Amino acid sequence: MSSKNRDKTEISRRDFLGLASLWAAVLPAIAFLGGMFRMVKPNVRYEESTRFKIGTVENFPVGITKKLEDKKVFIFSTDEGLHAISSICTHLGCIVNITEWGFQCPCHGSRYNQNGKVIAGPAPRNLSWHEISQDIDGSLVIDAAKDVPPGTIFKLKA
């Protein structure tokens, strides 16, 4: 068969074997690199659980605001119920302070109103509202990994 009338898509045996062995070498190399990067991502995290108990409803009489420092969360108790707002600034992760008008971040001057909405500064997002639920033993549980839309109030069951 002359090379002139050979179909363009046709490939010689030599080229085929050459390309096949090339890719047989390249693919494992890629897989090896991928595995190396995947190895870096931890499978176990030595961190505290994002779910934690905060005690029973009696701990939160109406009108009280509690700052759980180590859990990085503010808990507000109002007439309507409870809500939990994260104290982690959405800009670069500093801890916001509570003020009369809302929250203030000390690092780059982000400000939030009382509902955690950004009112000034570089913060790209509002402060998270965490989910509150009640455990079977009656104690309240916050999950910092689960956010709820702002304004979601946990109604106390009388």
Partner 1 sequence: MNDLKQSGINKFKNNLKDLRNSFLRSFIREGKPINDLSRAAVMANNFFLHVQGAKTHVNTLRPGYTLGLGLISLYLLLITVITGVLLMIFYNPSIENAYNTIKDINYVVFTGRLVRNMHKWAGEGMIISVMLHMARVFYTSSYKKGREFNWVIGIVLLILTLGINLSGYMLPWDQLSYWALVIVANIIQSPKEVTDVLGITKYFDMGGFSKELFLGGLTAGKESLTRVYLLHIMLLPLILFIFLGVHFWRIRKDGGLTKPEAFELKESDTRYISGPERKTEVFSTNKTYGLMELVKTRTPAVSRDIENNLLSWPNLILAETAVFFLTLAIVMVYSFYIDAPLRELANPLIPENPAKAPWYFLGLQELLSYSAFMGGVGLPGLALLGLALIPYLDREPQHIGIWFSGKKGRYIALESLVVGTFVLVGLLAIVIKFGWFRTWWPDVPQLLIILINPGNIWVGFMIMWSLFVIKRTDSTRMGAIALFTMFLLSYVILTYVGTELRGPNWGFYWYKSQWPVH
Which residues sit at the interface with partner 1, rule CB under 8 A? 37, 40-42, 45-47, 69-70, 72, 91-95, 104-109, 118-122, 124-125
CA distance 151 to 101: 17
| Shortest Å distance, C-beta 130 to partner 1 | 15
Q: Which is nearer to partner 1, 6 or 108 (CB)?
A: 108
CA distance 82 to 130: 11
| Shortest Å distance, C-beta 5 to partner 1 | 43
Q: Which is nearer to partner 1, 83 or 91 (CB)?
A: 91
| Shortest Å distance, C-beta 147 to partner 1 | 12
Q: Which is nearer to partner 1, 18 or 109 (CB)?
A: 109
- CB-based contact 130:146 (threshold 8 Å): yes
Backbone CA torsion sign across 73, 109, 92, 113:
positive
